A and B are shown apart, each in its own frame.
Chain A
Protein backbone atom coordinates (compact mmCIF):
# COMPACT_ATOMS: atom_id res chain seq x y z
CA UNK A 1 0.00 0.00 0.00
CA UNK A 2 1.67 3.16 -1.24
CA UNK A 3 -0.75 5.33 0.70
CA UNK A 4 -2.50 7.33 -2.02
CA UNK A 5 -5.70 9.05 -0.95
CA UNK A 6 -8.01 10.69 -3.44
CA UNK A 7 -10.91 12.99 -2.74
CA UNK A 8 -13.70 13.21 -3.39
CA UNK A 9 -14.43 9.59 -4.32
CA UNK A 10 -17.50 10.64 -6.28
CA UNK A 11 -18.37 14.01 -7.77
CA UNK A 12 -21.50 14.99 -9.63
CA UNK A 13 -21.59 18.48 -11.07
CA UNK A 14 -23.26 20.50 -13.74
CA UNK A 15 -21.69 21.56 -16.98
CA UNK A 16 -19.75 24.78 -16.61
CA UNK A 17 -18.85 24.29 -12.98
CA UNK A 18 -15.29 24.13 -11.69
CA UNK A 19 -14.15 20.75 -10.43
CA UNK A 20 -11.09 20.12 -8.24
CA UNK A 21 -9.79 16.62 -7.67
CA UNK A 22 -7.30 16.02 -4.89
CA UNK A 23 -4.53 13.52 -4.32
CA UNK A 24 -2.72 13.10 -1.02
CA UNK A 25 0.34 10.92 -0.64
CA UNK A 26 1.15 9.21 2.64
CA UNK A 27 4.43 7.62 1.57
CA UNK A 28 7.27 9.41 -0.15
CA UNK A 29 7.61 8.86 -3.88
CA UNK A 30 9.47 10.78 -6.52
CA UNK A 31 6.78 10.80 -9.19
CA UNK A 32 3.05 11.44 -9.32
CA UNK A 33 0.76 10.66 -12.23
CA UNK A 34 -2.79 11.73 -13.10
CA UNK A 35 -4.79 9.32 -15.29
CA UNK A 36 -8.26 9.35 -16.75
CA UNK A 37 -10.21 6.17 -17.49
CA UNK A 38 -13.24 5.94 -19.77
CA UNK A 39 -14.98 3.02 -21.38
CA UNK A 40 -14.11 4.29 -24.84
CA UNK A 41 -10.43 5.15 -24.36
CA UNK A 42 -9.33 3.10 -21.35
CA UNK A 43 -6.57 4.53 -19.17
CA UNK A 44 -4.86 7.67 -20.41
CA UNK A 45 -2.02 9.61 -18.83
CA UNK A 46 -2.91 13.26 -18.36
CA UNK A 47 0.20 14.61 -16.67
CA UNK A 48 3.04 13.50 -14.46
CA UNK A 49 5.32 15.22 -11.98
CA UNK A 50 8.79 14.30 -10.81
CA UNK A 51 9.99 15.90 -7.59
CA UNK A 52 6.96 18.23 -7.75
CA UNK A 53 7.89 19.51 -11.22
CA UNK A 54 5.56 18.82 -14.19
CA UNK A 55 7.52 16.67 -16.65
CA UNK A 56 4.98 15.78 -19.31
CA UNK A 57 1.54 17.34 -19.70
CA UNK A 58 1.00 16.31 -23.30
CA UNK A 59 -1.99 14.23 -22.27
CA UNK A 60 -3.91 17.14 -20.80
CA UNK A 61 -6.89 17.47 -23.14
CA UNK A 62 -7.08 21.23 -23.36
CA UNK A 63 -6.67 24.45 -21.44
CA UNK A 64 -9.66 23.66 -19.29
CA UNK A 65 -7.47 21.17 -17.43
CA UNK A 66 -4.71 22.20 -15.05
CA UNK A 67 -2.69 20.36 -12.41
CA UNK A 68 -0.50 21.48 -9.57
CA UNK A 69 1.79 19.83 -7.07
CA UNK A 70 2.62 22.44 -4.44
CA UNK A 71 4.53 19.97 -2.25
CA UNK A 72 5.69 16.35 -2.18
CA UNK A 73 2.52 15.03 -0.58
CA UNK A 74 -0.30 16.82 -2.38
CA UNK A 75 -1.56 17.43 -5.89
CA UNK A 76 -4.71 18.80 -7.51
CA UNK A 77 -6.31 18.39 -10.91
CA UNK A 78 -8.71 21.15 -11.84
CA UNK A 79 -11.24 21.30 -14.65
CA UNK A 80 -12.72 24.70 -15.41
CA UNK A 81 -15.27 24.83 -16.95
CA UNK A 82 -16.33 21.20 -16.83
CA UNK A 83 -18.13 19.51 -19.74
CA UNK A 84 -20.13 16.26 -19.96
CA UNK A 85 -17.33 14.63 -21.97
CA UNK A 86 -15.07 15.02 -18.93
CA UNK A 87 -17.11 12.36 -17.14
CA UNK A 88 -14.66 9.59 -16.25
CA UNK A 89 -12.76 8.02 -13.38
CA UNK A 90 -9.64 9.99 -12.53
CA UNK A 91 -6.76 8.15 -10.88
CA UNK A 92 -3.74 9.50 -9.11
CA UNK A 93 -0.72 7.16 -8.99
CA UNK A 94 2.76 7.34 -7.52
CA UNK A 95 6.03 5.79 -8.54
CA UNK A 96 9.52 6.72 -9.56
CA UNK A 97 11.69 4.23 -7.71
CA UNK A 98 14.17 2.96 -10.32
CA UNK A 99 15.12 0.01 -8.10
CA UNK A 100 11.59 -1.36 -8.61
CA UNK A 101 11.42 -0.45 -12.31
CA UNK A 102 9.36 2.63 -11.51
CA UNK A 103 6.41 0.48 -10.45
CA UNK A 104 3.29 2.58 -10.02
CA UNK A 105 0.73 2.43 -7.24
CA UNK A 106 -2.75 3.75 -7.81
CA UNK A 107 -5.19 5.61 -5.62
CA UNK A 108 -8.84 4.53 -5.42
CA UNK A 109 -9.94 7.03 -8.05
CA UNK A 110 -12.52 9.79 -8.28
CA UNK A 111 -15.63 9.08 -10.34
CA UNK A 112 -16.65 12.36 -11.98
CA UNK A 113 -20.04 12.85 -13.59
CA UNK A 114 -20.71 16.11 -15.41
CA UNK A 115 -24.37 16.61 -16.24
Chain B
Protein backbone atom coordinates (compact mmCIF):
# COMPACT_ATOMS: atom_id res chain seq x y z
CA UNK B 1 0.00 0.00 0.00
CA UNK B 2 1.39 3.39 -1.01
CA UNK B 3 1.87 5.97 1.71
CA UNK B 4 0.00 8.50 -0.43
CA UNK B 5 -3.10 7.49 -2.37
CA UNK B 6 -5.03 9.66 -4.77
CA UNK B 7 -8.48 9.21 -6.22
CA UNK B 8 -9.69 9.11 -8.83
CA UNK B 9 -6.76 8.16 -11.06
CA UNK B 10 -8.53 9.60 -14.08
CA UNK B 11 -11.34 12.11 -14.25
CA UNK B 12 -13.17 13.50 -17.27
CA UNK B 13 -15.72 16.25 -16.81
CA UNK B 14 -17.59 18.87 -18.78
CA UNK B 15 -16.54 22.49 -18.71
CA UNK B 16 -18.12 24.29 -15.78
CA UNK B 17 -18.37 21.28 -13.51
CA UNK B 18 -17.15 21.30 -9.90
CA UNK B 19 -14.13 19.02 -9.55
CA UNK B 20 -12.88 17.21 -6.46
CA UNK B 21 -9.63 15.26 -6.24
CA UNK B 22 -8.85 13.36 -3.07
CA UNK B 23 -5.60 12.47 -1.34
CA UNK B 24 -5.19 10.13 1.63
CA UNK B 25 -1.96 9.40 3.44
CA UNK B 26 -0.92 6.95 6.09
CA UNK B 27 1.98 8.67 7.83
CA UNK B 28 2.35 11.68 10.08
CA UNK B 29 3.16 14.74 8.07
CA UNK B 30 4.15 18.33 8.63
CA UNK B 31 2.54 19.66 5.43
CA UNK B 32 0.91 18.61 2.17
CA UNK B 33 1.70 19.85 -1.33
CA UNK B 34 -0.64 20.01 -4.31
CA UNK B 35 1.16 20.17 -7.64
CA UNK B 36 -0.07 20.58 -11.21
CA UNK B 37 1.65 19.07 -14.23
CA UNK B 38 0.50 20.14 -17.68
CA UNK B 39 0.93 18.00 -20.80
CA UNK B 40 4.06 19.97 -21.64
CA UNK B 41 5.62 18.47 -18.53
CA UNK B 42 6.29 21.42 -16.23
CA UNK B 43 5.36 21.04 -12.56
CA UNK B 44 3.76 23.97 -10.77
CA UNK B 45 3.19 24.31 -7.06
CA UNK B 46 -0.47 25.07 -6.33
CA UNK B 47 -0.68 24.87 -2.55
CA UNK B 48 1.33 23.94 0.49
CA UNK B 49 -0.83 23.54 3.58
CA UNK B 50 -0.66 22.07 7.04
CA UNK B 51 -4.19 22.75 8.29
CA UNK B 52 -7.55 24.12 7.29
CA UNK B 53 -8.19 25.50 3.87
CA UNK B 54 -6.47 27.62 1.23
CA UNK B 55 -8.02 29.30 -1.80
CA UNK B 56 -6.42 30.68 -4.93
CA UNK B 57 -8.75 31.81 -7.67
CA UNK B 58 -10.96 28.86 -8.64
CA UNK B 59 -8.81 26.40 -6.71
CA UNK B 60 -9.48 25.39 -3.12
CA UNK B 61 -7.43 22.95 -1.04
CA UNK B 62 -8.49 21.52 2.29
CA UNK B 63 -6.77 19.23 4.74
CA UNK B 64 -7.98 17.24 7.73
CA UNK B 65 -4.94 16.21 9.75
CA UNK B 66 -6.88 13.89 12.07
CA UNK B 67 -8.37 11.96 9.15
CA UNK B 68 -5.13 12.14 7.11
CA UNK B 69 -7.03 13.42 4.11
CA UNK B 70 -6.85 16.35 1.72
CA UNK B 71 -9.02 17.48 -1.16
CA UNK B 72 -8.39 19.74 -4.10
CA UNK B 73 -11.46 21.43 -5.56
CA UNK B 74 -11.80 23.30 -8.82
CA UNK B 75 -14.85 25.47 -9.31
CA UNK B 76 -16.20 26.38 -12.77
CA UNK B 77 -13.73 24.03 -14.44
CA UNK B 78 -12.21 25.02 -17.75
CA UNK B 79 -10.37 23.05 -20.45
CA UNK B 80 -7.13 24.78 -19.45
CA UNK B 81 -7.44 23.01 -16.07
CA UNK B 82 -6.72 19.75 -17.89
CA UNK B 83 -3.55 18.42 -16.30
CA UNK B 84 -2.22 15.85 -13.88
CA UNK B 85 -2.69 16.86 -10.25
CA UNK B 86 -0.20 15.40 -7.79
CA UNK B 87 -0.48 15.24 -4.03
CA UNK B 88 2.75 15.04 -2.05
CA UNK B 89 3.31 14.91 1.70
CA UNK B 90 6.21 16.33 3.65
CA UNK B 91 7.32 13.92 6.33
CA UNK B 92 8.11 15.10 9.83
CA UNK B 93 11.70 15.92 10.51
CA UNK B 94 12.98 16.24 6.97
CA UNK B 95 12.32 17.93 3.67
CA UNK B 96 11.55 14.83 1.62
CA UNK B 97 8.30 14.69 -0.30
CA UNK B 98 6.40 11.45 -0.80
CA UNK B 99 4.29 11.62 -3.93
CA UNK B 100 0.94 10.21 -4.89
CA UNK B 101 0.52 8.69 -8.33
CA UNK B 102 -1.43 11.66 -9.65
CA UNK B 103 -4.92 12.29 -10.99
CA UNK B 104 -5.28 12.94 -14.70
CA UNK B 105 -8.03 15.52 -15.21
CA UNK B 106 -9.56 16.21 -18.61
CA UNK B 107 -12.11 19.00 -19.01
CA UNK B 108 -14.17 18.78 -22.17
CA UNK B 109 -15.44 22.04 -23.72
Contact = CB atoms under 8 A, between A and B. Distances in A.
B101 interface: yes
Interface string B41-57: 11111001110000000
B95 A50 contact: yes
Interface in B41-75: 41-45, 48-50
Contact of B48 (A43, A44, A96, A103): A103
A33 B88 CA distance: 14
Interface string B73-103: 0000000000000101010001111011110
Interface residues of B, number: 23
Given A43-B86, A100-B48, A108 B42 contact: yes
Contacts of B33: 103-104
A55 B94 CA distance: 10
A56 B96 contact: yes
B42 A106 contact: yes
A41 B50 CA distance: 26
Residues of B contacting A: mostly: strand
Given A101-B30, A101-B50, A108-B42, A42 B102 contact: yes
The prevalent SS among residues of A at the interface is: strand
**Interface extent on A, as a size class?**
20 to 34
Nearest to B49: A101
Given A43-B86, A56-B96, 20 more contacts: A31-B95, A33-B97, A42-B100, A42-B101, A42-B102, A55-B94, A56-B94, A95-B95, A101-B31, A101-B49, A102-B30, A102-B48, A102-B90, A103-B48, A105-B45, A106-B35, A106-B43, A108-B42, A109-B41, A109-B42
Interface of A: 31, 33, 42-45, 48, 50, 55-56, 89, 91, 93, 95-96, 100-106, 108-109, 111
